[in-house]
Structure formats: C-alpha cells, structure tokens
Amino acid sequence: MAFFEGQNMTGGYGGADIITSCNIDVNKGEIVAILGPNGAGKSTAMKAMLGLLNLKNGVVKIDGKDISNLSPQDRVKEGISFVPQTRNVFTGLTVRENLEMGAFLRNEKIDKVIKEIYDLFPILEEKKSQLVGELSGGQRQQVALGRALMIKPSVLMLDEPTAGVSPIVMDELFDHILKVKQTNVAILMVEQNAKQALSISDRGYVLVTGENKFSGTGEELLNDPEVRRSFLGA
Amino acid sequence: MDFLNALILLLNYIVVPALSYGSQLALGAIFVTLIYGILRFANFATGDMMSFGTMFAVLLTWYFQSLGISLGVLPTALLTIPFAIIMMILYMLTIDKFVFSYYRIKKSPPVQLAMVSIGVMFVTQAIVRIIIGPFDRRFFDGERFIIKANEFKEMTGLNEGLSIKSTQVLTIIITIIVVSILFWFLNKTKTGKSMRAYSDNEDLALLSGIDPKRVVMITWMIAGILATIGGVLYGLDKSFKPFTYFNNMLPIFAAAIVGGIGNPFGAFLGGYVIAFSEIFLTYAYKKFFTYVLPESMEPDSLIQLLSTDYKFAVSFSILVIVLLFRPSGIFKGKVL
C-alpha cells in the first residue's frame, strides 16, 4: 500500500464527471507525474486528492488513514501541501513573510525551517526582504515551493510548476524538485512538459478523458511506442 | 514686505488646521482601505459608523461630567474613547454577522456588498438620530488653547498671531500613535501578516491554514478603533453633528483612493493630500500678499480661488483626476 493514494476516484465540479475510477498513488521519496492531453482531468485528479472537489466515489488515504471527508485546510494539517498553478505566492509580501505564512499553522519557532528552505533555495535568502511581486518567474516558483515546504509536508503536490517559465528556468526548477525529493517527501505533479517531467519522475500516470490509460516508470512510459505516438508526439 | 508675518499667517490658517484635519481624514481613510482590502467592498457606511462611535463618546462624556469625572486640562472625551470603541466594535460585529457575512459567504460581487453597505448606512444614520438627534453638539471641555493668538503676538512682537488649539495637537499626536501601532501590527505580528496575506491572495491564505473568520473579526475590531478615534477627534476639534460625518465620507474616500485603495500607508498620506488641497484652494490670500508684495502691488480682491462652500468640490475633483490618470493611486508600494 502506498503512502498517499487516491483509489477509484470519480467526480467533477457539479456537472458531468471529469474523472472516473481514477487511481493515483505516491510513496515517500518518490516523484510521480500525472500526464495527459488537455482536458484529461489531470489537475482535477490532483484537486480531488487535495479535497477541492467532492468525490462521488472513491477514497483518498494518507498513511492508511482515510481523509476523504476532510476539508483542504484539514488535509494541510495532515501534511499535504499544494502549490497551485497560478497565484501561488503572496505578491505584496516579502519573501520571508511568504515563508512565514506557509508555516502559519506551526506554533513553534520557525527560524530553523526557514534556514532549511534558504539552504535549499539560496536565492531566497538573498532576496528575503524583497517583495515577491518584484521577483522573476523562476524565483517566484521557488518562493511558491518554499512556502509549501514550510509545514514540512509529507506530500507535496505541484500543479504545472513549469507553466510559463523559460526552458532554462524549467531545468533549474526540476533540479530543485529533485532536491526536495531527497528530503523524503512524496511529490505528485501535473505537467505539460511530459518528456522533461518523465525524465525526473520515478513513475508516471497518463490520464485520458479522466481515466487511467497508461502507467509505469518514467522510462517505460518514455519508451512505450503507443504513449509516444499518441501523446508525446514523437 | 514681511515674510515672517506671512509665514505665521500661513502656519496659522493653513498648515496647522490642515495637519489636524488631514489626520482625522487619514484615520477614516485607513478604515475604508482596510475594509476594502480585506472584506473587498467599498463601505459607504464609513461616515455614519464614525458618527455612531462618536455618539457614544458624547453620551459618556455627559455622563462622566455629571459624575464630576474629568481629565483636568484634557477633554473628558478622551476617557470615554475605550468604552465607545467597545460599543462601536460590538455594533460592527453585529452588523457583520447579520448583514455582511451572508453576502460574503455567498461570494456576492463587491458592488452588491457596496449596495448593502448603503443600507447599513441608512440604518446607522437612523439609529444615531433616534438616540442623540440630528443637532450640532459640542462636547469639548478642558483647556481650549495651547497658544492663543494674542499671547503669541505679545511673545514675539509680530503682527500675526499663531493660535494652536489643544484639540489640534491632540489629534496629531493620537493619530501618529494609532497609525504607528497599526503599521507595527500589520508588518511585524503574525496576525497582522496573515491579514495582509489574506488581502493579497485569499485562496492561498486558505491553503496556508489562515482562518478567514478570525481575519474578518480582527479587521472589524481595527476598523472600530479607527472609526471611533477618528470620529471623536473630529468632533472635539469641530463639533459633533451626524450630517457632517456623513458629508465627510467624500474627502475620506478621496483620501483612500488617492493613496491607492487597499494601501493603508497611501490612505494615511492621502488624508493629508486632501486636507492640504482643500484648505490651500479655499484660503483667501489677500493678507498674505499684502505682507509679501510691495505696497504698490497690493491686491484689492480676496485672492480666493474657491469659496469654502466648494471645498467638497476639491476632493471630488482630486478623486476624478486620480481615477482618470493614476487609478492605482499616486503612491507606489505594497498593498496592505
């Protein structure tokens, strides 16, 4: 049994079901990518696991504990952290304040955790008193990652972390995500840049019209002729 | 030519009054901007909420006076401010619970909430008029002047007197203290930062575990403090008349918008921008030019750009100009 898993998830935003019988799981120290064409329900599957939409069917478990009925805020307390695709930083706050807000639920001294985040993303220490709204796209993504890591999550979910950043920044971000993986966090990410995402992922799921179509290790998926033809475009 | 007398004249009739009037506007403008930044609507009940809080200060001042309690040279009303603040906050939280929270939970558009606040405005106005009436009330006691005009003339031997009212000095000092505490709170405390975070990005604030109910409650509490103190200071300096408070809403909104709505520091400075503009444009400069220009060039007319009756036109014009050319306010900087 995996550390964090969504089993048999079915649901949508009120109208038709966007995901049907979708299964996703991730273990600690593992990066799992959710891939698929536009409208396949990738983000929806992730949001279902975060509790942002009501499931008609299926359960979400962390460490064997059923959290299907918890609100997103309560899931944060269970150690699940989420980085949205857009508006994922407080632009009017400084870098340090962003990190402090990430640790809002922690009552102990957070200086030590902030130090750890600075070690992971050295640029943030340099810019700690600057408003996040004045940072570049890549730096903002680091702030967003840092904010999410402040609760010391056991699961980190990333919704298209590389959307809208340049290829160079994208490589840099993937490096950062690999560093986060080494801290024994379970990482689940939705990605458009499938090839690059699979190259750093341990496993991947390909969703099509809300259902699991393929799954396997990054390498298997990259080499699967059917996946390549229908989806990777090569 | 007599520059010193001209300078004293300007100090006496423009700078000192504008500083105290500006402070009163600043407190109201920060109130508007906080509600706008966090609850996301323009609160048209601002002026009347200020008169509601002031009403309690007036009533309690009369009560304290009847008991023989006073602060000596300082106005008794200062003693009543904490009690008036408590009543104001209770009123705001009640209104929020029974009126605003319904629309907030429904996620109504800001325009709808602004309309609702107009309803709250009428109700508040009615309550104030039922309790204390629409008349002009003076509740100042204690020492009126710190420096009287003729004392100043005797001291310095100048023709022009400088009079400084105790209420003007009190207004400026109390405003500086209140605003400093507020900025310290917003920038240095965890709760203050969480309010700024909520104002900046509500969804992410929720994902970070910030409790929206608590943020809303604290916002109203701060609003209650600002509204009551601003209202009492204005009432002490001039007089308490509910209709005047309603009228003050225009310069207060102008100040908040000039400063960039949602930006408390901008609102604070905006208060002074509006106050100085109003007084600069409506002051009659005849005497000033008599001092400054040689005798042959002395003006015959009053040299007044606008009659004081038009002082609201000044705030309104500033409002329109700012909205046309710098809709995000004239001060750059962080929101909330």
Report the CATH number at residue B59.
Answer: 1.10.3470
| Residue that the structure tokens 């002031």 belong to | B54
Candidate from A76, A82, A93 with C-beta closest to B200:
A93
The tally of domains found in chain A comes to 1
- Please report residues of B whose CB lies closer than 8 A to that of A91: 200-201
A104–B contact, CB cutoff 8 A: yes
Q: Is A32 among the domain residues?
A: no
Phi, psi of A38 (to 5 degrees): -55, 140
The tally of domains found in chain B comes to 1
Which of A198, A190, A191, A136 has its CA nearest to residue A168? Answer: A136
- Please report residues of B whose CB lies closer than 8 A to that of A93: 193, 196-197, 200, 334
Q: Is B322 among the domain residues?
A: no
- Please report residues of A whose CB lies closer than 8 A to that of B201: 87, 89-91
**Helix%, strand%, coil% for chain A, nearest 5:** 40, 25, 35
What percent of chain A has a predicted confidence (pLDDT) above 70? 99
What pLDDT is stored for residue B332 in this prediction? 61
Q: Is B302 among the domain residues?
A: no
Q: Is A147 among the domain residues?
A: yes
Q: Give one DSSP letter per residue of B7-54, joined into a string.
A: HHHHIIIIIHHHHHHHHHHHHHHHHHHHIIIII-S--TTHHHHHHHHH
Which of A28, A75, A27 has its CA nearest to residue A47? Answer: A75
Min Cα–Cα distance to chain A from B336, Å: 8
Q: Which of the residues in chain B have pLDDT under 70?
A: 1, 332-336
Q: Is B251 among the domain residues?
A: yes
What pLDDT is stored for residue B299 in this prediction? 80
Q: Is B303 among the domain residues?
A: no
Q: What is the ipTM of this complex?
A: 0.87
Write down the mean pLDDT value for chain A. Answer: 89
What pLDDT is stored for residue A233 in this prediction? 60
Q: How do residues A23-41 score in pLDDT, each as one tens digit?
A: 999 999 999 999 888 888 8
Q: Domain of B46?
A: 23-273
Which residues contact residue A107 at a Cβ distance below 8 angstroms, ignoring those fewer than 6 apart? Answer: none
Inter-chain Cβ pairs, chain A and chain B, closer than 8 A: 62
The mean per-residue pLDDT over the stretch A81-94 comes to 93
Q: Is A200 among the domain residues?
A: no
HEC string for A106-143: CCCCCHHHHHHHHHHCHHHHHCCCCEHHHCCHHHHHHH
Q: Domain of A115?
A: 87-151
**Does the beta-carbon distance from A92 to B203 stay under 8 Å?**
no
What pLDDT is stored for residue A59 in this prediction? 92
Q: B282, B308 in Cβ contact below 8 A? A: yes
Q: Is A143 among the domain residues?
A: yes
What pLDDT is stored for residue A214 in this prediction? 85
What pLDDT is stored for residue B230 in this prediction? 97
Alpha helices in B68-208 (DSSP H): 77-95, 101-105, 110-131, 149-156, 166-188, 190-200, 202-207
**Does the beta-carbon distance from B200 to A84 stay under 8 Å?**
no
A105–B contact, CB cutoff 8 A: yes
Please tell me the pTM assigned to this model: 0.89
Q: Is B278 among the domain residues?
A: no
What pLDDT is stored for residue B158 in this prediction? 85
What pLDDT is stored for residue B1 in this prediction? 59
Look at A119-123, A207-211, B77-81, B249-253 and tell me which has the smallest mean pLDDT.
Answer: A207-211
Q: Is B193 among the domain residues?
A: yes
What pLDDT is stored for residue B130 in this prediction? 96
Q: Is A105 among the domain residues?
A: yes
What pLDDT is stored for residue B336 in this prediction? 54
Q: Is B30 among the domain residues?
A: yes
Q: Which of residues 254-313 of B touch A (CB under 8 A)?
A: none
What pLDDT is stored for residue A83 in this prediction? 94
B106–A contact, CB cutoff 8 A: no
Q: Is A99 among the domain residues?
A: yes
Q: Is B269 among the domain residues?
A: yes
User: Residue A71 pLDDT more than 90?
Assistant: no
- Measured in whole angstroms, the distance separating CA B19 from the mean position of its chain's CA atoms is 11
A80–B contact, CB cutoff 8 A: no
